[in-house]
């Protein structure tokens, strides 16, 4: 009850509405600043994602180049291929001898591969049977097609397959190539590297970043032997993604994340945006602040050789711009609120002076009324004078002109000097009549100014033809003395607007205006050879829209036929009264 009088005072003075507008402006401005910050952040985060993809592809390309060189220099040698080609059709005992011979032949070169981090060299027969694992030479004969899509693709489609894949005993980044001898497929060979070499290679490109590889849990459960599943543990992100077991100690084990990176991963576990984008298997980056330090965490999906979901490559990088974006937003928001506050104060000052201006406004309105009355009286007087000039002097001059023409027609051809004098008088009278009409037009604001609509249109067309340099053909048929003022004004204004549109937009060289009286209807057609393409209400079509409205108010209709490059035809029909 105590606040009610205050509320009424605020409403009466308009302060309440201004305060409400101020609050809405602060909210809208804050939202726009937030959206602008998000746009800049997303652009910068996208760069982080692209940098991660470039580093990953560069590291993987090094592995592929090393394998290409090894295959070309060592494996695809005639002696090796001839030896391996005999295994496909051999008995088990013969395969054992061939296996030992192949192992002995390539053992030294296999040891040299370790310096390039290539841990696996594996030969397969055309039916997908494992022939020789150099890292497990006693484990062979198992069928790989069901669990190794890369081996199946290479031996059925005879093309090289590279990429990430989970196998029966280990996951890795594979390079599987077909082998042939004398044009006949004899099987395939593969090399593989764990994540650790890729991690090391990417760290060389960016030493200040940490990398982690998440493996699709479904692939591990579907393909990996239960005896080897202990090598994986649940990731900090979700049960759907696994990481190498931190308890596993091996030269090939990936480097463990630092404490800040582990804290970042734990923080992102409940981030709904991260959960949504990982579920959609999209590349993305997010920024966050940990203990006053800005970080960007980037996620790059790594597809398996089949094109399905293989894993996620995650990069943790310090990024000072994260804090810069946050501080910049707060500074911009503070400056915006201060500016609005200043504007609000100025508006209050303005509202305080409204009462003082009210009296001045009333006085100005009174002066405007007097001025309007004066203009109305002046307009009526100008109209009266122009009408008297037209009906009085104009008619008298017209009568004199007719008499002089009769006089001229009655003279003999031999009266040369007299005929020239009368002709000169007729020309002078016509010039005087033209000047009188211009004077009548100048006295009245409306172009009709005591003329009939056909006379006004003829005057306007001739004037336009001289001023604009157009080739204008005017044809008028019928009587227009009994046309109503309303119809005359609408017809004249429509013609005027149509010709002005042609001058402004049509780029026409020739124009034709046809005015016809058909009983109680008047038809006017304006044709030009301009660029065409005119449509009411579009681009330059505002004038056409106004014409339509004016004609419709006079109970007529307008039809516009305009095609690009074919000029424009405007047809107007109006009732006479």
Q: How far is CA 390 from CA 293, 396, 426, 505, 571, in A?
A: 90, 9, 18, 36, 31
Query: For residue 286, what are the β-bridge partners?
Result: 297
Which residue has tokens 């196998």? 167
Counting beta carbons within 10 angstroms of the beta carbon of residue 484, is it exposed (0 to 12), middle (13 to 18) or buried (19 or more)? middle
pLDDT at residue 5 in the model: 56
Q: What is the pLDDT of residue 445?
A: 46
Per-residue confidence in pLDDT tens, the chain, 577 aa: 445 554 454 454 566 777 788 788 888 888 887 787 778 888 888 999 999 999 999 999 988 898 899 999 999 999 999 999 999 889 999 999 999 999 999 998 888 887 777 778 999 999 999 999 998 899 999 999 998 999 999 999 999 999 999 987 778 899 999 999 999 999 999 998 889 989 998 998 888 899 999 999 999 988 888 877 888 899 988 889 999 888 877 777 888 899 999 999 999 988 999 999 999 999 999 999 888 899 999 999 999 999 999 999 999 999 888 888 778 778 888 888 888 888 888 877 777 777 677 777 777 566 546 544 654 565 567 667 767 776 677 677 777 878 777 777 778 777 777 777 878 888 877 778 777 776 665 555 444 556 788 888 888 888 888 877 778 889 999 888 888 777 887 888 788 888 888 888 888 888 999 999 988 899 999 999 888 877 765 554 566 777 787 788 778 888 888 888 888 999 999 888 7
Q: What is the pLDDT of residue 542?
A: 61
Output the pLDDT for position 375: 42
Distances (CA, A) of 296 to 208, 236, 293, 452, 541: 12, 17, 10, 80, 53
Whether the CB-CB separation of 539 and 529 falls below 8 Å is answered with no
The CA R_g of the chain, rounded to the nearest whole Å, is 47
Structure tokens at 140: 């062979």
Contact assessment for residue 437 and residue 451, using Cβ atoms and an 8 Å cutoff: yes
Q: Is the dihedral of CA 486, 489, 490, 492 positive or negative?
A: positive
DSSP state of 394: I
pLDDT reported for residue 537: 56
CA-closest candidate to residue 84, choices 178, 181, 174, 191: 181
Distance CA 39, CA 48 (A): 15
* C-alpha dist (Å) from residue 268 to 40, 50, 221, 236, 295: 21, 21, 25, 8, 12
Residue 471 three-state SS: strand
> 474 Cβ partners below 8 Å, 6+ apart?
457, 458, 461, 462, 512, 513, 515
Identify the pLDDT of residue 84.
Answer: 95
Token pair, residue 494, equals 């429509």
pTM reported for the whole predicted model:
0.56
pLDDT at 422: 77
The pLDDT score that the predictor gives to residue 8 is 53
């Amino acid at each position: 009850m105590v606040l009610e009088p205050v509320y009424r005072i605020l409403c009466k003075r308009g302060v309440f509405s201004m305060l409400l507008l101020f609050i809405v402006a602060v909210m809208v401005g804050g939202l726009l600043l937030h959206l602008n910050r998000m746009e800049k952040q997303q652009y910068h985060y996208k760069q982080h994602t692209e940098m991660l993809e470039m580093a990953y592809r560069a590291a993987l390309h090094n592995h592929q180049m090393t394998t290409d060189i090894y295959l070309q220099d060592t494996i695809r040698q005639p002696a090796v291929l001839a030896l391996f080609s005999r295994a496909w059709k051999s008995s088990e005992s013969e395969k054992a001898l061939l296996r030992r011979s192949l192992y002995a032949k390539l053992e030294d070169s296999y040891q040299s591969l370790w310096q390039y981090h290539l841990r696996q060299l594996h030969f397969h027969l055309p039916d997908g049977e494992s022939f020789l694992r150099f890292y497990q030479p006693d484990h062979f004969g198992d069928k790989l097609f069901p669990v190794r899509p890369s081996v199946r693709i290479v031996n059925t489609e005879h093309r090289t397959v590279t990429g990430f894949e989970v196998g029966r005993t280990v996951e890795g980044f594979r390079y599987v190539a077909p082998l042939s001898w004398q044009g006949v497929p004899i099987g395939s060979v593969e090399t593989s590297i764990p994540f650790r070499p890729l991690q090391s290679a990417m760290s060389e490109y960016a030493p200040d970043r940490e990398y982690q590889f998440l493996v699709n849990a479904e692939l591990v459960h579907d393909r990996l032997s239960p005896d080897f599943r202990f090598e994986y543990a649940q990731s900090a992100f979700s049960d759907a993604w696994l990481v190498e077991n931190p308890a596993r100690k091996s030269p090939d084990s990936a480097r463990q994340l630092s404490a800040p990176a582990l804290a970042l991963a734990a923080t992102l576990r409940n981030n709904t945006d991260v959960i949504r984008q990982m579920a959609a298997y999209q590349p993305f980056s997010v920024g966050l602040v940990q203990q006053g330090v800005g970080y960007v965490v980037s996620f790059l999906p790594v597809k398996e050789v089949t094109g399905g979901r293989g894993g996620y490559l995650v990069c943790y990088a310090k990024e000072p711009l994260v804090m810069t974006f946050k501080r910049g937003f707060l500074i911009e928001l503070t400056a915006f609120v201060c500016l609005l506050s200043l504007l609000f104060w100025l508006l209050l000052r303005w509202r305080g002076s409204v009462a003082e201006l009210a009296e001045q406004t009333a006085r100005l309105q009174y002066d405007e009324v007097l001025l309007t009355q004066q203009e109305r009286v002046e307009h009526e007087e100008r109209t009266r004078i122009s009408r008297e000039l037209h009906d009085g002097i104009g008619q008298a001059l017209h009568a004199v002109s007719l008499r002089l023409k009769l006089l001229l027609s009655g003279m003999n051809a031999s009266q040369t000097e007299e005929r020239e004098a009368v002709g000169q008088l007729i020309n002078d009278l016509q010039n005087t009549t033209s000047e009188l009409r211009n004077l009548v037009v100048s006295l009245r604001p409306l172009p009709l100014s005591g003329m009939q609509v056909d006379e006004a249109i003829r005057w306007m067309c001739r004037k336009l033809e001289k001023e604009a340099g157009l080739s204008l053909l005017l044809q008028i048929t019928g009587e227009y003395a009994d046309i109503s003022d309303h119809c005359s004004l609408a017809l004249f204004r429509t013609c005027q607007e149509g010709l002005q549109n042609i001058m402004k937009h049509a780029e026409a060289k020739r124009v034709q205006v046809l005015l016809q009286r058909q009983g109680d209807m008047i038809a006017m057609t304006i044709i030009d050879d301009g660029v065409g393409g005119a449509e009411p209400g579009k681009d330059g079509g505002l004038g056409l829209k106004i014409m339509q409205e004016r004609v419709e108010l006079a109970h007529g209709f307008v039809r516009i036929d305009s095609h690009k490059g074919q000029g424009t035809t405007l047809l107007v029909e109006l009732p006479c009264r």
